[in-house]
Chains A and B, each alone.
Chain A
Amino acid sequence: MTPLTLATATVLVALAAAGIYAAICSTLPFTRCRRCEGTGYRTRTNAFGRTKLRPCRRCSGAGTHLRAGRRLYYLARDIHAEATTTVLPARDSKPHKPGW
């Protein structure tokens, strides 16, 4: 296997993987939270050895969160929208009146 074929194969595989990941991101935007294993809460042991439940901070207690790819896509979309959208200043609905 020459280095060229190796590089080509790697690139192709990466492209395919990216495509598959994009498809997954599009059809299943949410994934199970790995921190809380989908439960939405975590246990915490205090100094006295007592366990206490608290919401998972990573998924805010939902048990699922957006996939990284999807999050990246939204980030890019927002940046683009912000850069290309002109926001006009709101027009006064009422004519200005002196305040006495």
Chain B
Amino acid sequence: MTEYQSNTIGLDHANDIADDTGEFGEVIPFDRGTDAERVDMVDGTVVAVVDDLDRTVVATDGNADGDEEASGEPDDLPSSMTWAAPDRASGERAPVIPPWLRSGQARKAAARQAVSTARYYTAFHAVRTPLYATKTLGYSLVGVGRVTGKVTRWARAEEGNYELRQQAAASNDAYTWQALNKVRAREARGRLWALSLAVCTLLILATILLTTGLLAGPVLGVSLVGLMLLFAHLGRPADKPILGRVATGRKFTKLTGDLVRNALVALAVRGITAPEQVEFCHPGIHRDGPGWLARVNLPEGVTAVKVLEKRDALAAALRLPVDQVWPAAGPDHPGQLDLWVGYHPASKTGQPLWSLAGDAVSTSFFESAEFGTDERGRPVETTMFQRSYLLGGQPGSGKSYAARALVGIAMLDPTCELKICEFKGTGDFLDLEDLCSTYVCGVDDEALDQGVALGRWLVTEAEKRGRRILAARKRGEAPQGKVTPELAAKPGSGLHPVCVLIDEAHELFLYSADAAGNIERAIKRLRALGVSVILATQIPDKSSLPPGITRCVTNRWCLSVAGQVENDMILGTGAYKRGLTGTVYRPVFDAGWGCMTGGAAPVAVRSQFPDEETWAGMVARSASLRGGKVVGAPIETAPARDLLADLTEVAASNGQHWDTAAEALAETWPEAYPHLTAAALSDMARTAGLASVNVKITGEVRRGYRRTDLVKLRTTRDEATPVETEGGED
């Protein structure tokens, strides 16, 4: 395993050195403020801005903010800078003359940096000279001893039958010992002669040199020091370097063929028995983004999934952290494995700039946009249209920020309506309040009731939109029975895109089973109708997240979770065993990392995490794109209706059957009671304290409620809380 100090491809050596010098030279690898791949700084002064291989911009004033213009990138281009060196990624060629040698300023900057580095190194080691001298002396004594011992053993030919002789002595067998010793002595005779000759020659030479004065003064000193260094090298333990480490920089591992083959064999996957069985595909192991890509064909009959299951073991075999090793199925056939090994663990690398964070970028609900990056720093994109999202993860896994990245896409589409419910109550999305037609924040009953109302709104919206699409289809405007961008953009069509985010959704689902049912139905029906639902939850179990919802959500994003059970609850049964797991990520440290299914293939995604300033800029841009107006209208809070009062309205003289009452309610107040069934009504009434009994009305006896019970209940309630106007709920 060869280790290198970290460096970026093709950059000048001065920068390499600067990498090591953590104390005086600072390398900022991915400055979000600038558009550069790295900015080299010395003593707080920017000396060089490296945009890519072809351009090195030398800062004149040491002002990093001014470099965006200086980098020469057109402003209207979305800056989708990636880790990948462009020459490797897009087939361009590296420049013949390195960029840092082209301009005089860059040359000077490089030279300055080199000189400064050299000065630092010299001072660093000079201070430690006494320590080094002591160490060298001690180790050289050990070295002399080792060399003497080795030479003696060789000259005495001890190695030949040493064990046999010891065995003979141990068994007190003098004759055998003598016979063996005779063999040794015969072998040693020549060697002893050679040794004594060599020693004599050396002594004579030394005497001649000393007496003639050739070996005097500095020459003698230098040769003695050289000898001492040689012996110190021989006597030094392998893990104790004499020189101190100047910088404990990050290291990266060069992936080699042997390493890959041996690691794959070490997995003990059935079928991979010998290293030679693993074939490398063209072009072999190569750099791909900030790491190495090895595309291999596994032996016949072994599928890549078998290896993916053992990612931990693979990382262990490569002696790397798990988040540095990213096996994936190859593109050609199921037995092909793409093993990507980063230079650094993914949790320690920076993240490329979000393409949506650039100036004047807007998105469309119907087109894909970036919301995160994968382990190689490549953007991961998704479309809001026809998709719904489920985000799950333990506290600290970065759910809210992952949801924020998705909302960022919707936000920058000026036609998209935003409805955000956040049941954590800490105002995670408070900055988006002005953009939202509905913004709910809190965990109290009021907020949760609004959530329930949102569920109801979604169902009625699905009804309405279904009818509109039907009409549009008849007119020939919706050929597939789906919302099209043209239809959505048409003013007054009522088919504008909507993005609904429910953070900490379990709070709502535990509060009201009704809301859960409504949202499940809405997710199923609204997929093609231009409404995208994003659910984020930390408790993905059956009671707090109905399995129906988990099943019908298109994209599931499993952030850091504690174990296999939670993982499979989010990603589906068997996901963990297929190697799709969020358990490898640590909460807080790997916040935002997760495994997302629903795209072409499951991917490891790290959500974009813009800093506050960038995010504020994006929100401001969104507001300006919308012309300062809010798209869509707030939900009329329908639960202003009093269930008991309404039940009294629709009751006959002695009471009413549930089914008749449900029909009557749904007909009279369709906004408040959409799709009310007899069972649901009975359930709601029971919650309110109204008993379900057999009632006889117009000669038929069915389940229903008695008017007397209702009146009694209303009287007691009015006496208890005379000001309360809320109906239904206790």
Complex Cα spacing A40 to B156, Å: 29
Indicate if the CB atoms of B177 and A29 lie closer than 8 Å. yes
B169 touches A64 (CB 8 A): no
Contact A66 B175 (CB under 8 A): no
Which residues in chain A, 62-100, are within 8 Å of chain B measured between CB atoms? 62-66, 70, 74
A79 to B172, CA, bound (A): 18
CA A64 to CA B175, docked complex, whole Å: 9
Chain B residues within 8 Å of A66, by CB = 169, 172
A to B contact number (C-beta, < 8 Å): 20
The winner among B156, B172, B175, B177 for most chain A CB atoms within 10 A is B172
B174 x A74 contact (CB < 8 A): no
Min Cβ gap A9→B in Å is 23
Taking the nearest CB of chain A, how far is it from the CB of B674, in angstroms? 77
B223 on interface, CB distance cutoff 8 Å: no
| Docked CA distance A64–B178 (Å) | 10
B720 at interface, CB cutoff 8 A: no
Q: Are A62 and B177 in contact (CB under 8 A)?
A: no
Report B160-192 CB contacts with A as 1/0, cut-off 8 Å.
000001000110101101100000000000000
Inter-subunit contact A30/B170 (CB<8 Å): no
Whether A62 and B174, one on each chain, are in contact in the complex, defined by CB atoms closer than 8 angstroms, is yes
Set of chain B residues within 8 Å of A29, measured between Cβ atoms: 165, 169, 177
Q: Which of A1-48 contact B (CB under 8 A)?
A: 27, 29-30
Residues of A within 8 Å of B156, CB to CB, are 27
Q: Tell me the smallest distance from the CB of A74 to a CB of chain B, in Å.
A: 6
Taking CB atoms, residues of chain B closer than 8 Å to A62 are 174-175
Please, how many angstroms separate the alpha-carbon atoms of A62 and B156 in the complex?
A: 26
Q: Separation in Å of the B432 CB from the closest CB of chain A?
A: 71
Q: How far is the CA of A65 from the CA of B170 in the complex (A)?
A: 11
A65–B174 contact, CB under 8 A? yes
Contact of A70 (CB < 8 Å), options: B169, B175, B178: B169
Q: List chain A residues, Cβ under 8 A from B175.
A: 62
* Complex alpha-carbon distance, A30 and B178, angstroms: 9
Q: Enumerate chain B residues within 8 angstroms of A65, measured Cβ to Cβ.
A: 172, 174
For residue A63, which residues in chain B have a CB less than 8 angstroms away from its CB? 174
Chain B residue nearest in CB terms to A63: B174
Give the chain B neighbours of A59 by CB distance below 8 A: 174
A77 and chain B: residue at smallest CB distance: B170
In the assembled complex, the CB of B276 is this many whole angstroms from the nearest CB of chain A, namely 40
Q: Which of B127-179 contact A (CB under 8 A)?
A: 156, 165, 169-170, 172, 174-175, 177-178
Nearest residue, chain B, Cβ from A33: B174
Report the bound CA distance from A65 to B178 in whole Å.
12
Residue of A30, A63, A64 ringed by the most chain B CB atoms within 10 A? A30
Residues of chain B with a CB closer than 8 A to A74's CB? 170
Give the complex CA separation of A65 and B177 in angstroms: 11
Residues from chain B with Cβ under 8 Å of A27 in the complex: 156
Give complex CA distance A59, B173 in Å. Answer: 11
A27 and B178 alpha carbons, distance in the complex (Å): 12
Q: B184's closest neighbor in chain A, by CB? A: A27
**Separation of A30 and B171 alpha carbons in the complex (Å):** 12
Contact call A64/B174, Cβ cutoff below 8 A: yes
- Chain A residue nearest to B181 (CB atoms) is A28
Tell me the minimal C-beta distance from B188 to chain A in angstroms: 11
Task: Tell me the bound Cα distance from A87 to B126 in angstroms.
Answer: 58
**Bound-state Cα–Cα, A17 to B341, Å:** 61
Binary per-residue interface labels of chain B (58-99) against chain A in the complex, 1 for a CB within 8 Å, 0 otherwise: 000000000000000000000000000000000000000000
When C-beta atoms are compared, the residue in chain A nearest to B173 turns out to be A62
Chain B, Cβ-Cβ closest to A78: B170
> For the complex, what is the distance from the CA of A66 to the CA of B177, rounded to whole Å?
11
Instruction: A56 to B177: give the CA distance in the assembly, Å.
Output: 20
Chain B 309-366 residues near chain A, CB threshold 8 A = none
Give chain B nearest CB distance to A73 CB in angstroms.
10
How far, in angstroms, from A66 to B171 measured CA to CA in the complex? Answer: 10
A62 to B171, CA, bound (A): 13
Residues of A within 8 A of B169 (CB): 29-30, 66, 70
| Complex Cα–Cα for A59 and B174 (A) | 10
For the complex, give the distance between the alpha carbons of A94 and B373 in Å.
Answer: 65
Closest to A60 in B: B172
Q: Mark B237-276, 1 if CB is under 8 A from A, else 0.
A: 0000000000000000000000000000000000000000
Complex-state Cα separation, A27 to B155, whole angstroms: 13
A52 to B662, CA, bound (A): 132
Name the distance in Å between B670's Cβ and chain A's nearest Cβ: 83
Q: Could you say which residues of chain A place their CB within 8 Å of the CB of B178?
A: 30, 64
Near A by CB (< 8 A), chain B positions 390-442 give none
- Chain A residues within an 8 Å CB radius of B172: 65-66
Max chain B Cβ within 10 angstroms of own Cβ: one of A27, A29, A63, A64: A29
| A83 CB, nearest partner CB in chain B, Å | 18
Bound state CA distance, A64 and B156, in angstroms? 22
Q: For the complex, what is the distance from the CA of A65 to the CA of B10, rounded to whole Å? A: 73
Instruction: Return B203 CB to nearest CB of chain A, in Å.
Output: 24
Residue on A nearest B177 in the bound complex, by CB: A30
B177 cross-chain contacts in A, Cβ below 8 A: 29-30
Q: Determine the residue in chain A with the shortest Cβ distance to B158.
A: A27
Q: A70 contacts which chain B residues (CB < 8 A)?
A: 169
Query: What is the minimal beta-carbon distance from B673 to any residue of chain A, in angstroms?
Result: 79
A74-B169 Cα distance, complex, nearest whole Å:
10
Contacting residues, chain A, for B174 (C-beta < 8 A): 30, 59, 62-65
- List, in ascending order, chain B residues with CB within 8 A of A30's CB: 169, 174, 177-178
* Bound Cα distance from A27 to B170, whole angstroms: 13
Smallest CB gap from A70: residue in B: B169
> For the complex, what is the distance from the CA of A14 to the CA of B178, rounded to whole Å?
30
Which A residues touch B165, using CB under 8 A? 29
**In the assembly, what is the distance between CA of A64 and CA of B174, in Å?**
7
Assembly CA distance A78 to B177 (angstroms) = 21
A94 to B105, CA, bound (A): 87
* Bound: A65/B169 CA distance, A: 9
CA distance in complex: A1, B169 (Å)? 44
Residue among A62, A63, A65 with max Cβ neighbours from chain B (10 Å): A62
Alpha-carbon separation in the docked complex, A30 to B170 (Å): 11
Cα of A30 to Cα of B182 in the assembled complex, Å: 13
A54→B521 CA distance, assembly (Å): 112
A61–B165 Cα distance when bound, in Å, is 20
In whole angstroms, how far apart are the Cα atoms of A27 and B180 in the complex? 12
**Complexed CA–CA distance, A64 and B177 (Å):** 11
Report the separation of the CA atoms of residues A29 and B169 in the bound assembly, to the nearest whole angstrom.
6
CB distance from B546 to the nearest CB of A (A): 59
CB distance from B186 to the nearest CB of A (A): 16
B606 to chain A, nearest CB (A): 53
Q: Report the minimum CB–CB distance from B164 to chain A (whole Å).
A: 13
Q: Smallest CB–CB gap between B183 and chain A, Å?
A: 15
Closest Cβ neighbor of A74 among chain B residues: B170
- List 12 A-B pairs, Cβ < 8 Å: A30-B169, A30-B174, A30-B177, A30-B178, A59-B174, A62-B175, A63-B174, A64-B178, A65-B172, A65-B174, A66-B172, A70-B169
Enumerate the 5 nearest inter-chain pairs by beta-carbon distance, A residue then B residue, closest first: A29-B169, A64-B174, A62-B174, A30-B174, A66-B172
| Besides A65-B172, A70-B169, 4 other A-B contacts (C-beta < 8 A) | A29-B169, A30-B169, A59-B174, A62-B175
- Contacts from A to B (Cβ < 8 Å): 27, 29-30, 59, 62-66, 70, 74
B interface residues with partner A (beta carbon < 8 Å)? 156, 165, 169-170, 172, 174-175, 177-178
